[in-house]
Amino acid sequence: MTNSWTDIKNTDLVIVMGGNAAEAHPCGFKWVTEAKHHRGAKLIVVDPRFTRTASVSDYYAPIRPGTDITFLMGMIRWMIENDKVQWSYVKAFTNASFLVKEEFGWSDGLFTGYDEEKRDYDRSSWEYQLGEDGFALTDPTLQHPRCVWNLLKAHVDAYTPEMVERVCGTPKERFLKIAEMIGECSSPTKTMTSMYALGWTQHSKGSQNIRGMAMLQLILGNIGVPGGGMNALRGHSNIQGLTDIGLMSNLIPGYLNIPTEKEPDWETYMKSRQFKPLLPGQTSYWQNYSKFMVSFQKSMWGDAATAENDWAYHYLPKLDVPAYDMLRMFELMDQGKVNLYFCQGFNPLLALSNRGKNTSALSKLKLLVVMDPLQTETARFWENHGAFNDVDPSAIQTEVIELPTSCFAEDEGALVNSGRWLQWHWAAAEPPGQAKHDTWIMAQIFLRVRELYAAEGGAFPDPILNLTWPYADPSTPMPDELAREMNGTALADVTDPADPTKVLTAAGKQVKSFAELRDDGSTACGCWIYSGCFNEDGNNMARRDNSDPSGLGVHSNWAWSWPLNRRTLYNRASADLDGKPWDPERALLSWNGERWEGFDVPDIAPTAKPGEVMPFIMNPEGVSRLFSRGMMRDGPFPTHMEPFESPVQNVFNDRMRGNPVARMFESDAATLGTSDEFPFVATSYRLTEHFHYWTKHNKVNAAMQPEFFVEISEELAAEKGIQRGGKVRVWSKRGEVWAKALVTKRIKPLTCDGKTVHVVGIPLHWGFVGAAKKGWGPNSLTPAVGDANIETPEFKAFLVNIEPATGEALA
């Protein structure tokens, strides 16, 4: 989230699209209710199903799964055509005025530079025109034909309300009504907030869905302001933290990058990370990259990371592919190229796309290690459960070790909520039986491997032997010790760059914040964005003062948020070019003539003059991007792409299937179905009584929604002869499931490109272990293709067929 849960009460309009907050995030959704009740805010829901959120909305529109970009580009087109643009914001705080290279263009659904063979773009034309001084050329009048604004206008021109209806199946009058409601938020004193979740990410172009809304929000002037923002509701309780800390193939904590083979040395690695400002006087905060990176290396390898050995640069792995994400790993596993696999609190057999492939891949491992508080299907993938897990144990040679861990109630530490708050919690009980904390288990594994290397030698042991391990009891690193490492420590006195005689933080003390990190080896810091969470003031994440003098839900002294305890990202943009709040009623920050002051930590240098330094300090431009240059693989603007399995062809290019640059392994391409065999669009979702595959271990939740069902319209039920409560078989190119049919008015057939499109809803919860009845998850049916930028699998739009199953009706 750019903002916070409590900030939602400041909004005038909520749009829930790509999520179902009332159902999936009920206690956060109460802030929507607050906004409706106290501010008269309205709620819009756009979703293939009339969800529980839709049932409390002011206005609802249906949409075909996987067509959100068309809807959003249509919205931007309508705003421009009807002059619903927050012009002062757009001109000053976005790259609307930047000139783009002459070669850049778009036609037939593709941008310039497409290489069909490589399934990739040459993105060199997706860039600004630069002057001789190295700064970007701009036209503040927005008249130049190559300025971003005019290119955007041209790009969205095709997305008329008629086109939206044709592609999305959203009735034109519903689209127009929503456009009018959203258009009102172009006023500087009205804001809209976007609440989204996996309904937007789980597509082969999920990142572009989100960009589409971010662009709309920028055009309305709604980023950085109270009651505005792009608010990813996020899934599990620490999905944010695990991402921040970079537990991904290509990440280093704080959104730094693991090097690639093209960066054979430190100098080359840093050369592409200079982040020189693209306009004079801009902050371009990533210019401090080397400070964060060196401090990370010092945190990992201490004295073994020196200036002479380039801070132990070669201790880091270097990638030959963009990432060994889990889709790639399961592909390699299925090819027999992976021997050992660890699952720490993760149940990929049910959570990863295409279960059949998951089973086949896991069966080729030598050793699978599962660490979990609960039984999981993954740990028992080899166990026969009839139709629910139809395997032959004797044919599976994988050895499985299952290690019992503590759960939240037995553990201490911080979790990061969607609003980036790091909230500390304490252990209330002891783990059951012989269960252990994950930290103890990881320490045991590491210490034993280190011992083996110390005793026997072996392949490149240096990064293992030299890993810092400064814990009082090496076998049991404590949460506060680990948190302090992430905050960072001064290894030598940290002095003021303006006055080297002045010591800011003495050697051995915790740094106050990342502003004190250095690239000369004098500081160590595990995760720079968390710096400040546990400094000499103590554990700031454990703070419990819930007061809110702002009245805006800022709660600055409750827990701690990254970065720097800032609660709203880009909050400098809540004030105009002179530093006055756009809306005096919702004043978060203002410029007092000398410095920024207000209720939140300014997202800009405290003395940065408002007319000179622009609010988007992480970008070398200083402004936000309506045109994202070459930063995304599938385009600098979002363009309509069909799901890989779709009942209709791409209206711009009938040769194009799915996202033209999404990675597709051959084995997965062979398992894609077409609409003649699989005519119905399926989508997955979650019920409010359930939390993924966890609550099926809980009798209360298992009983509240006891049985696996699929949701279909009355029209589809009539067409296929399916009875209300009858048993159905649903199958895709990849697998099949049997379920009870929930025949509902909540899903209606749509008309898209002249065809009737039926949607089948498939909730997730069921498996073959736990307290619930046995069932299947949607991943028995879904394809293993990920988003082109971040490889999140396409769970939200795929093709199935459905028929009544033999046997008695269950109801």
Partner 1 sequence: MNIDLSRRGFLKLAGAGVAATSLGAMGFGGAEAAELAHVRAFKLTQTTETRNTCPYCSVACGVIIYGRADEAGKRRVVHIEGDADHPVNRGTLCPKGSALKDFVNAETRLTEPMIRRAGSDRFEPISWDEALDKIARALKDDRDANLLAANEAGVPVNRWSTAGFLAASATTNETAWLTYKVVRSMGIVGFDNQARV
- Shortest reach from residue 48's CB to partner 1, in Å: 20
Binding residues among 379-398 for partner 1 as defined by CB under 8 A: 380, 382-384, 393-398
Residue number with CB closer to partner 1 (121 or 795): 795
Cα 601 to its chain centre, rounded Å, is 24
- Shortest reach from residue 177's CB to partner 1, in Å: 30
Pick one of 69, 195, 294, 369: the residue that binds partner 1 (CB under 8 A): 369
Chain position carrying tokens 């889709």: 327
The residue range among 40-48, 405-413, 513-521, 652-660 that interacts with partner 1, by the rule CB under 8 A, is 405-413
- Shortest reach from residue 157's CB to partner 1, in Å: 36
- Shortest reach from residue 67's CB to partner 1, in Å: 22
Cα angle 606, 607, 609 (rounded to 5 degrees) comes to 120
Binding residues among 413-432 for partner 1 as defined by CB under 8 A: 413-418, 421-423, 425-430, 432
Binding residues among 434-453 for partner 1 as defined by CB under 8 A: 434-439, 441-446, 448-449, 451-453
Q: Per-residue x/- mask for partner 1, residues 554 to 573, rule CB under 8 A?
A: -x--x---------------
- Shortest reach from residue 235's CB to partner 1, in Å: 7
Q: How far is CA 264 from CA 296, 299, 310, 317, in A?
A: 19, 22, 12, 11
b/e burial code for range 412-438 (CB count within 10 A of at least 16 → b): bbbbbbbbbbbbbbeeeeebeeebbbb
Residue number with CB closer to partner 1 (183 or 786): 786
Burial of residue 520, with CB atoms counted within 10 A of its CB: 0-12 exposed, 13-18 middle, 19 or more buried: exposed
| Contacts with 139 (C-beta within 8 Å, 6 or more apart), sequence order | 97, 99, 147
Burial of residue 35, with CB atoms counted within 10 A of its CB: 0-12 exposed, 13-18 middle, 19 or more buried: buried
Chain position carrying tokens 């900030």: 7
Which residue(s) pair with 372 in the sheet? 404
- Shortest reach from residue 88's CB to partner 1, in Å: 33
Binding residues among 89-128 for partner 1 as defined by CB under 8 A: none
| Contacts with 323 (C-beta within 8 Å, 6 or more apart), sequence order | 248, 249, 250, 791
Residue number with CB closer to partner 1 (274 or 384): 384
- Shortest reach from residue 524's CB to partner 1, in Å: 12
The pair of structure tokens assigned to 516 is 């004190």
Pick one of 286, 408, 671, 809: the residue that binds partner 1 (CB under 8 A): 408
Compute and round to an integer the Cα radius of gyration of the chain. 27
| Contacts with 691 (C-beta within 8 Å, 6 or more apart), sequence order | 701
**Number of residues this chain uses to bind partner 1 (CB under 8 A):** 167
Residue number with CB closer to partner 1 (349 or 656): 349
- Shortest reach from residue 186's CB to partner 1, in Å: 30
Binding residues among 2-41 for partner 1 as defined by CB under 8 A: 5-6, 24-28, 30
- Shortest reach from residue 441's CB to partner 1, in Å: 8
Pick one of 133, 501, 544, 808: the residue that binds partner 1 (CB under 8 A): 544
Nearest-CA neighbor of 300 among 286, 289, 315? 315
- Neighbouring CB atoms inside 10 A of 407's CB total 15
The answer to whether the beta carbons of residues 222 and 7 sit under 8 Å apart is no
- Shortest reach from residue 764's CB to partner 1, in Å: 11
Binding residues among 335-364 for partner 1 as defined by CB under 8 A: 337-346, 348, 351-353
Q: Per-residue x/- mask for partner 1, residues 260 to 279, rule CB under 8 A?
A: -x--x---------------
- Shortest reach from residue 86's CB to partner 1, in Å: 29
Instruction: Strands of 499-570 (E only): list them.
Output: 499-505, 523-524, 534-535, 538-539, 560-561
Binding residues among 572-631 for partner 1 as defined by CB under 8 A: none
The pair of structure tokens assigned to 190 is 């009205």
Assign 3-class secondary structure to 145-163.
Answer: CCEHHHHHHHHHCCCCHHH
Binding residues among 296-325 for partner 1 as defined by CB under 8 A: 300, 314-320, 324-325
Residue number with CB closer to partner 1 (380 or 758): 380
DSSP classification of residue 230? E
What is the enclosing helix (H) or strand (E) of 741? strand 736-744
Which residue(s) pair with 561 in the sheet? 421
Pick one of 793, 797, 799, 801: the residue that binds partner 1 (CB under 8 A): 793
Binding residues among 190-249 for partner 1 as defined by CB under 8 A: 202, 233-249
Residue number with CB closer to partner 1 (404 or 521): 404
Between CA 25 and CA 51 the distance in angstroms is 13
Residue number with CB closer to partner 1 (579 or 777): 777
Q: Is 402 in the site for partner 1 (CB under 8 A)?
A: yes
Residue number with CB closer to partner 1 (383 or 719): 383
Between CA 46 and CA 60 the distance in angstroms is 6
Residue number with CB closer to partner 1 (154 or 340): 340
Residue number with CB closer to partner 1 (178 or 333): 333
Residue number with CB closer to partner 1 (238 or 283): 238
Binding residues among 687-706 for partner 1 as defined by CB under 8 A: 688-691, 694-695, 697-701, 704
- Neighbouring CB atoms inside 10 A of 548's CB total 15
Binding residues among 454-483 for partner 1 as defined by CB under 8 A: 456, 458-460, 463-464, 467-468, 477, 479, 482-483
Q: Is 404 in the site for partner 1 (CB under 8 A)?
A: yes
Between CA 365 and CA 403 the distance in angstroms is 18
Between CA 393 and CA 359 the distance in angstroms is 12
